[in-house]
A and B are shown apart, each in its own frame.
Chain A
Amino acid sequence: MSRALQHPSADQIGAIKAFVFFLCMLPAAQLILGWRADSLGANPVETITHATGAWTLRLLLITLAVTPLRRYTGLHWLVRLRRMLGLFAFAYGMAHFGIYLWLDHFFDWQAIANDILKRPYITVGFAALMLMVPLALTSNAAAIKRMGGRRWQALHRSVYAIAVFGVLHYWWLVKADILQPLIYSAVLAVLLGLRAWWRELERRRQLAAPPPVAPSLKGKVIRIVPK
């Protein structure tokens, strides 16, 4: 692999980011232009609901793929795209929810509350989106600094639950054709499975390594009970 690919310059990173931003905007642009041109099919509201939902989930999974990709390719700069990908997932999720509030329920809050409480697929979708809010709000350097890396990381681990809820939402909403949720589940299973596997490897490594005892204390009696 070339050096430039391994270690892009700041300018190159900037260009890559701009390009990824552009790519992430494409589905939205397509929907907006399609809406205006009336080319979203016979039921444009459904088209938009499905497209925004699907892109929320895809972007979440792409976000979760960053760490494995980085680990297996050695392209450490990939992590610098992760925040943008996660924020785009959130933006599509909000658009998805917004369309539902507006064009499915016309802001009938009573009916919306009922729906969220009564229909499991809406309940998990809503839970997933609500769990994304704190992650979006803390996706900036200031928040990491304020919270400290450890707490920030602990909070952001909820992304695993969000992805599981997102896939569950999909399982619960399909009528008979389970192919799509099956595919998303398989991808998510690989992404989560890798993490479980890495943990296991780490556990084994720690077990195999000599206990972390300072050599100078070896063989010495350490009195831990007062005389």
Chain B
Amino acid sequence: MLIKRPADIPASEITPRDLFDDRRRFLQQAGASLIAGAALWHGVPDNARAAATRLSPLASSPFSTTESQTAYKSVTTYNNFYEFGTDKEDPARNADKMAVRPWTVRVEGLAGKPRTFDIDDLLKLAPLEERIYRLRCVEAWSMVVPWVGFPLSALLKQVDPLGSAKYVEFVTHYDASIMTRRQILNWPYTEGLRLDEAMHPLTILAVGLYGEVLPNQNGAPVRLVVPWKYGFKSAKSIVAIRLHEKQPATAWNQSAPQEYGFYSNVNPEVDHPRWSQASERRIGELRKRPTLMFNGYAEQVASLYQGMDLRKHY
């Protein structure tokens, strides 16, 4: 894939937003992670802005949308991260307790060169790109998020998937001492992709948003982003990535198999049993808008599903 490096400041850096309200949280986070992540950051937090959380340089991406971006405050206070509570605002309140350094990600299973990556090595694995993607939640709301990350394929290539590897499982962090102990879903939360979906250039591991280090509630330090699938496929705070021959179990599918399939591609024609998926409310807007097939990424991904009955493989 062509990666171009813009010389000027990315648009996200000049996007006005409610950073000042969130200054305190940023400072806390910056303070906590300063020790380990210093190499990545430019400068130290000053008392006006938490510049220490800035990620750069960032390449722009042809996959980015030009649609207007969802306010930073909404992206970081309206989250589904059930380990930290099921109200949308719970993760922003509670995820501060999670220590995101030190952090490692094991990449294992059917791999020629399985390996455990330290998060700071992972961040240097590939050039960081800004990917402005639509995010469509299965609950019929959507956002436009300027993620920072790199293609998952870059990581997978490092471990040499074996020919028998057909699926990828993502295992996320679970720590009962800081997260809910109620078995709302099977903890740790797991998700999965087919290998070709995981290798697709749209699929990224995100480490930041709005040009800055990922806030904990958005899945720090590293999360998956698969923009043509419902949001819950994009597992947060990943600790292990496993290559499998067989389709792995996934948390929502185990919880309600008739409602959440393995594929979970955004599809306006296949309703959730309890609500319509034909339209969505873009956060920040009052009117609903029609939902697009594969969340508007059909041109890039429809070929992955040729010949499949998407009503059956929902």
Binding site for B on A (CB under 8 A): 41-43, 45-46, 103-104, 106, 111, 115, 119-121, 172-173, 175-177, 179
Q: Determine the chain A residues whose CB is within 8 A of the CB of B74 once the complex forms.
A: 42
Q: How far is the CA of A73 from the CA of B94 in the complex (A)?
A: 41
B77 at the interface (CB under 8 A from A): yes
Contact B286 A103 (CB under 8 A): yes
Main secondary structure of the interface of A (DSSP, over half): helix
Closest chain A residue to B288 by CB distance? A106
Judging by beta carbons under 8 Å apart, are B73 and A119 in contact?
Answer: no
Supposing A41-B89, A42-B88, A119-B275 touch, asked if A176 and B185 sit within 8 A by C-beta, the answer is: yes
Given A119-B274, A121-B274, A172-B274, A41-B184 contact (CB < 8 Å): no
Max chain A C-beta neighbours (<10 A), residue from B256, B274, B286, B287: B274
Tell me the bound Cα distance from A41 to B76 in angstroms.
Answer: 11
How near does chain B come to A129, taking the closest CB pair, in angstroms? 18
Flag if B256 contacts A176 (CB, 8 Å): yes
**A42 and B274 in contact (CB under 8 A), knowing A176-B184, A177-B184?**
no
Can you give 22 contacting A-B residue pairs, CB < 8 Å?
A: A41-B77, A41-B78, A41-B88, A42-B73, A42-B74, A42-B77, A42-B78, A42-B88, A43-B141, A43-B281, A45-B281, A46-B141, A104-B288, A106-B287, A106-B288, A111-B276, A115-B276, A121-B274, A175-B139, A177-B86, A177-B182, A177-B184
B82 interface hit (Cβ, 8 Å):
yes
Closest approach, in angstroms, between the C-beta of A180 and any C-beta of chain B? 9
| Shortest Cβ distance from residue A118 to the other chain B in the assembled complex, whole angstroms | 9
Output the least CB separation between B215 and chain A (Å). Answer: 14
B122 lies within 8 A of chain A by Cβ: no
The answer, yes or no, to whether B102 is at the interface (CB within 8 Å) is no
Contact A42 B185 (CB under 8 A): no
In chain B, what residue has the closest Cβ to A119? B274
Residues of B within 8 A of A106 (CB): 287-288
**What residues on A are CB-neighbors of B274 within 8 Å?**
119-121, 172-173
Does B44 make an interface contact (CB < 8 A)? no
B159: interface (CB < 8 Å): no
List the 10 closest pairs (A to B, CB-CB), nearest first: A42-B78, A42-B74, A177-B86, A177-B184, A42-B283, A176-B184, A176-B255, A119-B274, A176-B185, A43-B283
